[in-house]
Structure 1
Amino acid sequence: MEGLNCWEYYLCGREVGGINSEELGTCPASTLYHNSGINGGTFSGRYCWTVEGTLCDSEIQGGLEDKLLNCINCSFLKSVNVEQGREFILMPQKIHQNK
């Protein structure tokens, strides 16, 4: 199962063209191209815990703070962490700009 994106791991069918995408909507984790490659995933497929609007425990998730509290014990997040080892990215790095 190494290297799976969240929609492949959970078989939710909300990826682009998935069996549940018309009924439940397309999951934003499967369309956020700017996160492609993070933790070795396609779009946000291995970084879904930072994306609002994903489906977890049969509920659409809301804000990032609440979502992270739910995701911290997620088996998928834990498996990505193990697979990525020292390269694992939990949260985006803040960009500091000189003023």
Structure 2
Amino acid sequence: MSLRNDPFPTDLCPEHARIAWRWWMNDYNPQSPNEWPVGMSATRFDHQSAPPLMDSRAMHEERARDFDRKNRSQVELIARICRSGRSPQCTPAHGEETPCD
């Protein structure tokens, strides 16, 4: 089931909504099949800690489901962080005095 079939959280502060939206709109690219979305490339890590690419024998449908699951997990994490009211990244919505109420 695609992440986009779920309702997007509307109770997030503007900054967390922006971050969550980037994950929400992140699609699996079968032309460049990474295991983890958003540029987790080996160039950002040393050779021993670089995240491996997915097993090349996996079907694209399976990879897309895993990619979607990871995106969903990130959106849910961002929502929990925002709703906790303790995140320094929270920004007040227009007309509000306190962020993430």
TM over 0.5: no
Given the two structures, how large is their TM-score scaled by the length of structure 2?
0.25
Given the two structures, how large is their TM-score scaled by the length of structure 1?
0.26
Larger radius of gyration between Structure 1 and Structure 2? 2
More strand by share: 1
Q: Bigger relative contact order, structure 1 or 2, given CA contacts below 8 A and separation 6+?
A: 2
